Amino acid sequence: MVSYEILPIGYVRGGRLDPRDDDWGATRAVIELDAAIFTADALVGLEAFSHAEVIFVFDRVPRDKVETGARHPRNRAEWPLTGIFAQRGKNRPNRLGATICRIISVDGTRLTVAGLDAIDGTPVVDIKPVMHEFLPREDVFQPNWVAEMMAQYW
């Protein structure tokens, strides 16, 4: 198997200290780029967008807790046994998370966002502006249990 090295571009600063599952909507955090690599030029123009997609590493998930098969989301037996690639849990094979969050401000190498479901100190590996043209062009659908699970998430 081929492996790839992915280095953090920066880190989440502030926001939450613990990874509980719900009430992320009002959480504000700063993504601070690595000043040894990036200058403020890296974020120029991002302030013109309303949202950014942030890709980060669930770095506090131990390797022995990674799921490769199916499980009940949030370990709730009333929800169906679901493969790890049919859910967005943190115990993923490569431990990568992706969230679309609202841009609050850009200041030099610091991006302030709301609704980022990553905790203080989380390594960030990429930031992309959200563009209509990259969103689904068809209706989005999902199983009913997802809406129940996500009712308090944001």
Domain assignment present for residue 4? The answer is no
Domain assignment present for residue 92? The answer is yes
The tens digit of pLDDT for each residue in 122-150 reads 999 999 999 999 999 999 999 999 999 88
User: Is the model's pLDDT at 23 over the cut of 70?
Assistant: no
According to the model, what pLDDT value does residue 11 have? 98
Domain assignment present for residue 2? The answer is no
Provide the β-strand partners of residue 67.
Answer: none
The enclosing H or E element of 114 equals: strand 110-114
Residues in CB range of 152: below 8 A, 6 or more apart: 22, 23
Domain assignment present for residue 1? The answer is no
Provide the β-strand partners of residue 105.
Answer: 112
Domain assignment present for residue 56? The answer is yes
Domain assignment present for residue 58? The answer is yes
pTM, to two decimals: 0.92
What domain range includes position 43?
A: 10-131+140-150
| CATH number, residue 17 | 2.40.30.70
Query: Which segment of 24-28, 91-95, 138-142 scores lowest on mean pLDDT?
Result: 24-28
Q: Closest by alpha carbon to 17, among 27, 31, 7?
A: 27
Q: Closest by alpha carbon to 109, among 16, 11, 27?
A: 11
Domain assignment present for residue 145? The answer is yes
> What is the residue-averaged pLDDT of the chain?
93
Domain assignment present for residue 24? The answer is yes
Measure CA of the first residue to CA of the last residue in the chain; give whole Å: 37
The tens digit of pLDDT for each residue in 43-58 reads 999 999 999 999 999 9
**Rounded CA separation 46/28 (Å):** 17
Number of domains in the chain: 1
Q: In the structure, what pLDDT confidence band is assigned to residue 26 with cuts at 50, 70 and 90?
A: confident
